[in-house]
Structure 1
Amino acid sequence: MNHTPLATTIVIPTYSEVRWEYLNRVLASARSQTHTPAEIVVVVDHNPAMFERIKRELPGITVLQNAYAQGVSGNRNTGAFHARTPLIAFLDDDIIADQNWLARQIEPFTDPAVVGTGGAIRPAWEGRAPRWMPAEFLWAVGGSYKGMPTRTSPIRNVWSANMIVRKDAFERAGGFRVGFGKLGSRNRPEDTDLCLRMSQVSGGRWMYVPAAVIQHEVPAERASFRFFVRRCYAEGRGKVQMAGLHENDALGAEKNYLWSLPRAMFRHLAAGLSGRGSDHFLRAGGVVAGVAAAGVGGVVETVSSRRPGRRTPVEATP
């Protein structure tokens, strides 16, 4: 089958019928794109009943079952290795894509040096956004955070909720690292790991396209301060685990980000003291709490990884 260089397959992983309404919304947004995808693939994570329901009730898409161990990395790999187009787009099942999302995000691929792209992710809060949530930490709820580029720019990594890759480079890198993703309470950065490996095997670069927008659902339970602290803690542990899988300094971007956070804290404090609202004091506290939780997670993982007999996750390739 012949395809144009910008022909794209959209891959959407899912796992539970609790997310049925979410899934229908993301499919509606995928179908309404101004750049029509060649194929929309939904991959179900070891849930035969949901697989049969999708086949029965959602015509016009390809539905597959996860061919790997349980987890979103295997889910995405199943859909990606099925695809026959030069480009593969990944969306999560709890997002809504702007109708121009795909058209805008594939634009950088006219440059053969671009190996992948990512777009902006805006949190769609079920209720009100927490008063204490600093914009610098929106990544904790799966959103683009303050400090990211405001125009199309090179970037080290993007997020798999809104990611497009060249299929050949994706396959050369072996796809997502199966067993190293988000599963249960674990929160390992499988998308950052993939970006690093794709850049290494191809010599190509990633581009961030802020005009390519999706909205990411944030249920009420993820707007709690407890969730925020736990998420930052898990991120600290996950980033240390990821760094252990790469020979070079894999945490350069994280170090630069951390250096920016004291300025963010003082900026919020100054805004509060100048009378621009007490919420700024809460956000300054949110910065401190987020840094502390991530730091504790990093220390715990560093100590844990040095224990005798500790196993390092092994990359699984198809």
Structure 2
Amino acid sequence: MDSTPLDTTIVIPTHTEDRWSSLVRTVACALSQQAEPAEVVVVTDHNRGLFERIQRELPGVTVLENAYAKGVSGNRNTGAFHAKTALVAFMDDDITAGPEWLGRLVEPFADPRVVGTGGGILPDWEGPAPRWMPEEFLWAVGGSYAGMPTETSPIRNVWSASMIVRREVFDAVGGFRVGFGKLGDRNRPEDTELCLRMSAHDGGQWMYVPSATIRHEVPANRSTFPWFVKRCYAEGRGKVQMAGLDDGGSDTLGAERSYLWSLPKAALRNLGAGLTGKGADNFLRAGGIVAGVAAAGWGGVVETVAAKRATKTQKTLETAR
């Protein structure tokens, strides 16, 4: 049976039983959407025990195993390529969403130029939010950050924790780039890279819908300053790797440069607030901005040097043949 334009499949990638309680909660959110999905698909990442447990204990969902190399990109592709609906929604296995989430993200697809949408993401801290965490860096814990639109607006990219794609365009570009994503210590922006390719395919548009809000779990071990610095460093490396994939001459990192230009003002604003008696935490947040920029910048330098060395080595090998 052919799908209607607004039929949607929800895909939830998962990889470990350590997140079982979170997965159960996410699945419950998916199944309770007011805009009822045609199918909810949970995809396990080369974990047979988890696959069998979901089959036994989570009725009402389709369970698949990652058909690609280990990693979340292959997990999502497995579910998305299984779908037969016009739209495919992605949820992470550690988020919660209200019953209106899906319907709000679907609305912009009334415009045929829209190839994808994404919603607002609030950090769901396991403990208290760090006093030093700048709102401009909430992306480091998977959250929407200060400076993003406050109403439905066009945007360059959204995040796969809360994303819907037009399936025909997703399929046309080959889905998420397998091997380029989050696995182990690697933290490559596979969702941003996908958004760029889908937009470039036929000039399509992404829309950010801040009212389609989810809460994204932030465990205590990701609330520490050392983890924050490490995450920013990895992001710097990942963005340079992403730029290296683009051979079309587009300004892949234009949004990142605009974002960086906004950070000195944010740091000064926090310093000013601290100096005028509005709380010592403002000094800490200003320091967080400086540390985040420095870590990301250093990551970018390291990756740029590594890429140049790899290119030089490759040329040497080709010359020696």
* Bucket of the pairwise TM-score, normalised by the shorter protein: over 0.9
Deviations 1:197-224 (A, max 9, x none): 0011121010000000000000000000
Partner of 1:257: 259
Q: What amino acid sits opposite 1:285 in the alignment?
A: G
Q: What amino acid sits opposite 1:61 in the alignment?
A: V
Deviations 1:268-288 (A, max 9, x none): 000001111000000000000
Mapped contact 1:236–1:298 kept (Cα < 8 A): yes
Counting only pairs closer than 5 Å after superposition, residues 181-260 of structure 1 correspond to structure 2 as 181-247=181-247, 248-260=250-262
Q: What amino acid sits opposite 2:302 in the alignment?
A: V
Mapped contact 1:116–1:206 kept (Cα < 8 A): yes
Partner of 2:16: 16
Partner of 1:80: 80
Shift of 1:32: 1.2
Shift of 1:111: 0.2
Q: Is the partner of 2:119 in helix, strand or coil?
A: strand
Deviations 1:52-103 (A, max 9, x none): 1101111110000000000000000000000000000000000001211001
Partner of 1:133: 133
**Range with greater deviation from structure 2 (11-20 or 301-310):** 301-310
Q: Is the partner of 1:308 in helix, strand or coil?
A: helix
Shift of 1:2: 2.2
Deviations 1:236-283 (A, max 9, x none): 000000001113220000000000000000000000011110000000
Aligned to 1:279, which of 257, 281, 302? 281
Q: What amino acid sits opposite 1:33 in the alignment?
A: Q
Q: What amino acid sits opposite 1:234 in the alignment?
A: A
User: Which portions of structure 1, spanning 4 or more consecutive aligned residues, are displaced by more than 4 angstroms?
Assistant: none
Task: Give the structure with the higher percent helix.
Answer: 2
Mapped contact 1:115–1:202 kept (Cα < 8 A): no
Shift of 1:162: 0.6
How far apart, in 2, do the equivalents of 1:60 and 1:154 lie?
34
Shift of 1:12: 0.2
How far apart, in 2, do the equivalents of 1:78 and 1:5 lie?
22
Aligned to 2:307, which of 305, 308, 316? 305
Shift of 1:124: 0.3
Deviations 1:152-182 (A, max 9, x none): 0000000011110000000011100000000
How far apart, in 2, do the equivalents of 1:53 and 1:3 lie?
30
Structure 2 gap segments, 5+ residues each: 315-321
Mapped contact 1:117–1:164 kept (Cα < 8 A): yes
Partner of 1:292: 294
How far apart, in 2, do the equivalents of 1:303 and 1:137 lie?
25
Counting only pairs closer than 5 Å after superposition, residues 47-86 of structure 1 correspond to structure 2 as 47-86=47-86
How far apart, in 2, do the equivalents of 1:98 and 1:266 lie?
36
Counting only pairs closer than 5 Å after superposition, residues 111-190 of structure 1 correspond to structure 2 as 111-190=111-190
Shift of 1:308: 3.5
Q: What amino acid sits opposite 2:253 in the alignment?
A: L
Partner of 1:316: none
Q: Is the partner of 1:244 in helix, strand or coil?
A: helix
Q: Is the partner of 1:207 in helix, strand or coil?
A: strand
How far apart, in 2, do the equivalents of 1:102 and 1:210 lie?
12
Partner of 1:97: 97
Q: Is the partner of 2:310 in helix, strand or coil?
A: coil
Q: What amino acid sits opposite 1:239 in the alignment?
A: K
Percent pairwise identity: 71
Mapped contact 1:8–1:38 kept (Cα < 8 A): yes
Q: What amino acid sits opposite 2:169 in the alignment?
A: A
Partner of 1:315: none
Q: Is the partner of 2:12 in helix, strand or coil?
A: strand
How far apart, in 1, do the equivalents of 2:186 and 2:8 lie?
31
**Range with greater deviation from structure 2 (285-294 or 23-32):** 23-32
Q: Is the partner of 1:151 in helix, strand or coil?
A: coil
**Number of residue equivalences:** 311
Structure 1 gap segments, 5+ residues each: 312-318
How far apart, in 2, do the equivalents of 1:2 and 1:50 lie?
32
How far apart, in 2, do the equivalents of 1:220 and 1:98 lie?
24
Q: What amino acid sits opposite 2:182 in the alignment?
A: K
Mapped contact 1:87–1:165 kept (Cα < 8 A): yes
